[in-house]
């Protein structure tokens, strides 16, 4: 029950205002005051929505696409989650971190792997992330900034085949997933990755067995001075078998 000395009004956004009547204030004046306050609230809400910049709009679209019909099913699948778990566990257990270590990842993709590497290296070293796709580089760099990643990547929007990339600058280079297939040249891609690695450094190479048989890697290595230190095949999910290798330069 509404008290006689109280005035209530509901706005379109379900905003309820309450004003106690005071001597000398007419009901119409109370109504006008509350109505104006509701309109101001609506205006503020609208301006807040309109104030989203283009980068934020792109970031929102990025998040939605990860859960969308094209990518969402795979990104949430046991096969994908298993691959992520194994790959992260592998780098953590197989490689040592030391002060001022420099790591490079080739092929950013969604950036999840780069995010993890940055956390892994936090307080000890830095990460450089390379990708040829300008839109991928921009959204990844901006996302890390907005999410306040504590050890963000240095992003290079370049082709792995560019001759002016830092030579022998990294202790570890990682090349995982479909990155090598997307370059279109298996041997040239590996040659370029090894050119980034310091003498005595390592390449961590992970690839699908369906598109990159282990024999391809072994044949390549047999024609170089590089050495496969470790190689593990994972076939828990037969629809997505893969291998990970640690190769010393």
Q: DSSP labels for 51-107?
A: T--HHHHHHHHHHHHHTSTTTHHHHTSHHHHHHHHHHHHHHHHHS---TTEEEEEE-
Asked, for residue 46, whether it belongs to a domain, the answer is yes
Whether residue 48 is predicted with pLDDT greater than 90 in this model: the reply is no
What mean pLDDT is predicted for residues 67-88? 92
Asked, for residue 237, whether it belongs to a domain, the answer is yes
**Single pTM value for the model:** 0.78
Asked, for residue 56, whether it belongs to a domain, the answer is no
Q: Which structural domain range is residue 27 located in?
A: 6-50
Q: Which two structure tokens, joined as six digits, stand for 224?
A: 């170089």
Residues 20 and 106 in one domain: no
Residues 165 and 220 in one domain: yes
Residues 33 and 97 in one domain: no
Q: How many domains does the chain have?
A: 2
The mean predicted confidence, pLDDT, of the chain is 86
Residues 32 and 113 in one domain: no
CATH number, domain of 184, equals: 3.40.50.150
Asked, for residue 163, whether it belongs to a domain, the answer is yes
pLDDT digits (tens, 9 = 90+) for 122-166: 999 999 999 999 999 999 999 999 999 999 999 999 999 999 999
Whether residue 209 is predicted with pLDDT greater than 70 in this model: the reply is yes
Asked, for residue 210, whether it belongs to a domain, the answer is yes
């Amino acid at each position: 029950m509404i008290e006689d000395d109280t005035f209530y009004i509901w706005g379109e956004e379900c905003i309820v205002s309450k004003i106690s009547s005071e001597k000398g204030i007419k009901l119409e004046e109370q109504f006008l005051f509350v109505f104006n306050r509701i309109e101001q609230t609506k205006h503020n809400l609208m301006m807040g929505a309109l104030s989203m910049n283009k980068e934020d709009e792109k970031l929102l679209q990025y998040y939605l696409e990860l859960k969308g019909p094209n990518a969402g099913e795979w990104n949430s699948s046991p096969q994908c989650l298993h691959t992520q778990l194994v790959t992260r566990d592998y780098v953590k257990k197989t490689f040592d971190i030391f002060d001022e270590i420099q790591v490079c990842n080739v092929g950013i993709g969604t950036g999840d792997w780069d995010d993890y590497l940055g956390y892994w290296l936090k307080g000890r070293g830095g990460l450089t992330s390379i990708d040829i796709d300008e839109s991928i580089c921009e959204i990844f760099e901006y996302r890390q900034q907005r999410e306040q990643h504590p050890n963000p990547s240095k992003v290079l929007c370049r082709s792995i085949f560019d001759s002016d990339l830092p030579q022998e600058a990294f202790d570890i280079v990682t090349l995982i997933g479909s990155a090598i297939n997307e370059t279109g040249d298996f041997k040239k891609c590996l040659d370029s990755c090894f050119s980034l690695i310091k003498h005595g450094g390592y390449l961590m190479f992970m690839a699908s067995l369906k598109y990159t048989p282990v024999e391809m890697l072994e044949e390549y290595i047999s024609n170089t001075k590089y050495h496969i230190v470790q190689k593990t095949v994972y076939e828990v999910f037969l629809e997505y078998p893969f291998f990970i290798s640690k190769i010393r330069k």
